[in-house]
Amino acid sequence: MELKRKFAQAGVAAVLTLVLTGCASSLMDGIWGDDSTASGNASAAMTAGVAPDMMAAQENGDVAKAYNEALSLMTNGSLATSIKQFAEVERKYPYSSYATQAILMQAYASYRLGKWDDAINASNRFITLHPGHRDVGYAYYLIAICNYNQIANTKRDQAQTLKSMAALEEVAQRFPGTAYAADAEQKVIVARDHLAGKEMEIGRYYFRQGAYLAGINRFKRVITEFRNTSQTPEALYRLTEGYMALGILSEAQTAAAVLGANYPQSEWYRSAYQLVASDGREPLANDDSWISKAFDTINPL
């Protein structure tokens, strides 16, 4: 059974890694869109890997030159130096559209460097100064991704995971139907699985100490608050295990029955069935049990 537990945990880690390295990067790099504005020109330049020629823009030539220098530094990989140059553009020409764009570029470059707090601060500054800007969705998304990238493993406090979920959910609510919202919704699923995984880890610890009631409370939380996660089948098995240990056989049978009704092909169900059968019983759902009500499950057997 310990091997099964490790396999389940490894699966969650693999999913987390996949999503962390998934489409977020392409969304980050594709911010600038495809139009004839300064930001649209920057998009084409970043795609091609060259600095755009903005000198024809209807703005002061000095600010265009300074912005182009910063962008050239970025496209050549000098991210830290480009941040300083974009900051100069913002400082010297605060009322130009280049200054507006320079704030986002500072956020983007900081993100690329893994300086999450700097990226979040720049994004928040952009949102405060330009709440109606067409790229404000990108700023919200960048904040969410920077929080998401700081999610700790399940052995540490999960405050950052909760913060990340809140930011991701805000993106999904503010910008429905966008690529930002779609990606945020997928990452919320992973974050919820992460929180459920933390509850599972604590519950297993209590079981190893023989504190079955404390462990059951943790697994109950997985069922009631994080039901649609990959942790649910094991949580139902652990409930079967815990209730059997406490001699609360009806609840053990119910947990096993609900597990079989919802995850009939799961190895956790086979293990739960064997555990209940070892006492000469079989999975049998009590419709008045909190477990049955959590799943709206009638007796499947």
pLDDT tens for each residue of the chain, 301 residues long: 433 333 233 332 332 232 333 345 555 555 443 333 333 433 333 333 333 333 334 456 888 888 989 898 888 889 999 999 999 999 988 888 889 999 999 999 999 999 999 999 999 999 999 999 999 999 999 999 999 988 866 566 678 888 889 999 999 999 999 999 999 999 999 999 999 999 999 999 999 999 999 999 999 999 999 988 999 999 999 999 999 999 999 999 999 999 999 999 999 999 999 999 998 999 999 999 999 999 874 444 3
For the question of whether the overall pTM of this predicted structure is more than 0.85, the answer is no
Q: Is 267 exposed, middle or buried (0-12, 13-18, 19+ CB in 10 A)?
A: middle
Residues with Cβ within 8 Å of 285's Cβ and at least 6 positions away in sequence, in order, are 253, 254, 257, 258, 261, 291, 292, 297, 298, 299, 300, 301
Strand runs labelled E in 29-121: none
Q: Which domains does the chain have, with CATH numbers?
A: 23-190 (1.25.40.10), 195-295 (1.25.40.10)
